[in-house]
């Protein structure tokens, strides 16, 4: 009989995209960041890259994340970045705040990975006025940029695991998976 895996038995990858809009059929990724970590040590690996969309970045999107057409003009496309992103994530459990958003823009990259949604876990385990990432994690004011958001998601996930552990005594991996 094999022991049920705990949250400490796997590697995680907190993932965040910045996009040209909210519709994955019309809009594209302009920045990707991922932070690979585990819960037993402080070592982390970071992947962060701007991405050139096929169409221009709308002004209303730039107003949110600050990424301009000039910033992405000489960057690789998302299609060119796919292998690098997949290689970085590997077999990690993908962690994101509202993972459905990242899943829709991933174009299949994370479909075979186990996934954990900090938005869902926060609603289940925390009391808050709202469940926006910026409300749940003290940030550095760089919200809506991929790397600060991925780091915040990682920090929130670690806090959620500690909350669950305090309330239940231990945390099986299945308890955090979406």
Contacts of 148 by beta carbon, 8 Å cutoff, 6+ apart: 139, 140, 142
Q: What is the pLDDT of residue 52?
A: 98
Strand order in the sheet with 29-37: 44-50, 29-37, 12-19, 93-96, 115-117
Query: Considering just the CA atoms, what is the radius of gyration of the chain in Å?
Result: 16
Could you give all domains of the chain from N- to C-terminal order, each with its CATH number? 7-169 (3.30.420.10)
Q: What is the pLDDT of residue 134?
A: 87
State the Cα–Cα distance between residues 3 and 172, nearest whole angstrom: 10
Q: What is the pLDDT of residue 144?
A: 85
> pLDDT by residue (tens digit) across 132-153?
998 898 765 567 899 999 999 9
What does the mean pLDDT of the chain come to?
A: 93
The mean pLDDT of 97-110, rounded to a whole number, is 95
Percent of the chain scoring above 70 in pLDDT: 96
Q: What is the pLDDT of residue 69?
A: 97
Least confident span in 23-37, 82-96, 138-152: 138-152
Decide if pLDDT at 2 tops 80.
no
The mean pLDDT of 111-132, rounded to a whole number, is 96
State the Cα–Cα distance between residues 133 and 142, nearest whole angstrom: 12
Contacts of 125 by beta carbon, 8 Å cutoff, 6+ apart: 160, 163, 164, 167
């Amino acid at each position: 009989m094999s022991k049920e895996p705990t949250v400490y038995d796997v590697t995680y990858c907190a993932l965040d995209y910045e996009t040209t809009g909210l519709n994955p059929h019309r809009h594209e990724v302009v920045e990707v960041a991922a932070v690979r970590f585990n819960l037993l040590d402080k070592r982390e690996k970071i992947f962060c890259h701007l991405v050139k969309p096929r169409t221009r970045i709308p002004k209303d999107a730039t107003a949110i994340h600050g990424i301009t057409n000039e910033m992405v003009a000489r960057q690789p496309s998302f299609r060119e970045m796919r292998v690098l992103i997949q290689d970085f994530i590997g077999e990690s459990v993908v962690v994101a705040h509202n993972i459905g958003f990242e899943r829709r823009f991933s174009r299949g990259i994370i479909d075979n990975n186990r996934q954990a949604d900090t938005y869902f876990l926060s609603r289940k385990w925390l009391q808050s006025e709202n469940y926006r990432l910026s409300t749940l994690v003290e940030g550095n004011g760089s919200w809506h940029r991929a790397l600060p958001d991925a780091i915040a998601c990682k920090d929130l996930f670690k806090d959620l695991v500690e909350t669950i552990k305090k309330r239940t005594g231990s945390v099986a991996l299945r308890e955090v998976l979406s």
